[in-house]
Structure formats: structure tokens, C-alpha cells
Amino acid sequence: MHQDIEQVLYDQKALTEVTKSLGAQLTVDYAGKNPLVVCVLKGAILFMADLVRQIDTHVELDFMDVSSYGGATVSSGEVKIVKDLDTSVENRDVLIVEDIVDTGRTLNYIADLFKYRKAKSVKICTLLDKPETRVVPVHVDYSGFKVPNAFLVGYGLDYAEHYRNLPYIGILKSSVYQTK
Ligand SMILES: O=P(O)(O)OC[C@H]1O[C@H](OP(=O)(O)OP(=O)(O)O)[C@H](O)[C@@H]1O
Ligand code: HPA
Ligand SMILES: [Mg+2]
């Protein structure tokens, strides 16, 4: 285990199992629908890559880069589009894939944007849901794990761009981001 990790919450086996189970459900729900599966960069990249391999029906992929944390552990409150989709969502069934819903600001913003752009349907699949810290409402359609109010890293989740490549999800030691 990495020295900056307090506790491992989900190891590779747990992540594989939950991804398979979500993929099986999505295979049923999206059969014949040709959904546009949108990965929210960068955090969701590892989950997206594993999840779509478990979806056994036709899908198209696209990527959107949105950022609100910068180098901090607390949301700035302002959501910025860094890279927009290449595809039009108009009249498409859109499935947004996220690593974590925390304050809800990122997904609230993206889901509203896709509805405004006239998507036929907008659903959310998140690996992690941290309900205690929600500031704005988000309807989560598919969720892997409900997590406690701690700063998590690994499997795509970062602190100041570090730890995304850890193959598990763990709680980051607070001594790493607290200066005193
Ligand atoms: O519910 P929220 O409070 O909005 O937080 C969740 C979002 O924050 C993180 O992304 P971040 O903006 O840090 O960018 P990153 O994915 O590139 O790390 C995370 O990957 C989610 O997208
Ligand atoms: O717990 C978290 N870890 C990493 N990035 C995040 N973005 C929102 N919450 C988190
Ligand atoms: Mg982040």
C-alpha cells in the first residue's frame, strides 16, 4: 500500500465486481438504444475504460473535461468546461460516467447542460457517491458504492494530480494536504 494512504476502501477485486454488476445492468437497460456514453475527464477515465468493456450492447463514447477542484480538496464552487464533447447530444440517450459525486456541482451542471441541448434522456452512472457532502441535488441512476465523508484517491481520483494510477481506492492521509 502507498505510504500516503490511510486505509484501502475498495481493492481491485471489489472494483472489478462492482463494474461487472453495473455493466450487466446497463447492458439490459440500453439494449438497442445506441447510447452516447460520456466520460467526465479526468477522474472517470479508469472507471469508464473498465465499465464499457462490461457493457454488451452497442455504445458510442465521448469525453468532456470539466474542473472545479484545481489543486484543492474542497470544490471551488465554479464549474469550468475545459473540453466540450465532439458529438451532438440532441435526441441521444446520454449516459454520463463519473468517478465520484461529492457536492454534486459537476454533475448538476453537466446533466442540465445536456438537457438544455435536447438530449432524449440523461442518466448518471457513478462509481462512488458521497451523499453527506451534497450541496446541489443530483439524481444518480447507477451507483457503485456509497462512501464516507473523507478525501479519496486512486483508480482515477487525484489529489493535486497525484495517485490517479493507484489500482485501488483509499482514504488519503490528512497530513498530506494539511499544512499544520
Ligand atoms: O460533486 P463535485 O463536488 O462536483 O465533485 C466531483 C467531481 O470532482 C472531481 O473532478 P475534478 O473537478 O477534481 O477534476 P478531475 O476529474 O480532472 O480530477 C471528480 O472527478 C468529479 O468529476
Ligand atoms: O474525495 C475526492 N477525491 C478526489 N477527488 C474528488 N473530487 C470530489 N471529491 C473527491
Ligand atoms: Mg479531481
One DSSP character per residue, the chain reads --TTEEEEEE-HHHHHHHHHHHHHHHHHHTTTT--EEEEEETTTHHHHHHHHTT--S--EEEEEEEES-TTSSS--S--EEEE--SS--BT-EEEEEEEEESSSHHHHHHHHHHHHTTBSEEEEEEEEE-GGG-SS----SEEEEE--SS-EEBTTB-BTTBSTT-SSEEEEPGGGT---
CB-CB neighbours of 113 under 10 Å: 18
Q: For position 47, what pLDDT does the model report? A: 98
Atom number of ligand 1 nearest to Cα 44: 20
Q: What is the domain partition of the chain in residue ranges?
A: 5-173
Residue 11 is a catalytic residue = no
119 grid coordinates: 438530449
Q: For position 61, what pLDDT does the model report? A: 98
Q: For position 180, what pLDDT does the model report? A: 61
Give the residue, by CA position, lying nearest to ligand 2 atom 6: 157
152 touches ligand 2 (CB under 6 Å): yes
| Distance (Å, whole) CA 153 – CA 116 | 32
- Distance between Cα 100 and ligand 2 center (Å): 7
Query: Contact, 125 vs 98, CB < 8 A?
Result: yes
9 touches ligand 2 (CB under 6 Å): no
Q: Say which amino acid occupies 108.
A: N
Atom number of ligand 2 nearest to Cα 147: 1
Q: Say which amino acid occupies 138.
A: V
Bridge partners of 142?
125
The answer to whether the peptide bond before residue 42 is cis (omega within 30 degrees of 0) is yes
- Distance between Cα 26 and ligand 1 center (Å): 23
CATH of domain 5-173: 3.40.50.2020
Task: List per-residue pLDDT tens for the chain, 180 residues long.
Answer: 899 999 999 999 999 999 999 999 999 999 999 999 999 999 999 999 999 999 999 999 999 998 876 666 777 678 889 999 999 999 999 999 999 999 999 999 999 999 999 999 999 999 999 999 999 999 999 999 999 999 999 999 999 999 999 999 999 999 999 876
Q: For position 156, what pLDDT does the model report? A: 98
- Distance between Cα 20 and ligand 2 center (Å): 23
Q: Which ligand is nearest to the CA of 41?
A: 1
- Distance between Cα 68 and ligand 2 center (Å): 10
Atom number of ligand 1 nearest to Cα 67: 12
The alpha carbon of residue 127 and the mean position of all alpha carbons in its chain are separated, in whole angstroms, by 6
- 0.90 surpassed by pTM: yes
Number of residues written out for the chain: 180
Q: For position 79, what pLDDT does the model report? A: 87
Residue 170's Cβ-side half-sphere holds a number of Cα atoms within 13 Å equal to: 20
Q: For position 89, what pLDDT does the model report? A: 98
Which residues neighbour ligand 3 (ion) by CB within 5 Å? 43, 69, 158
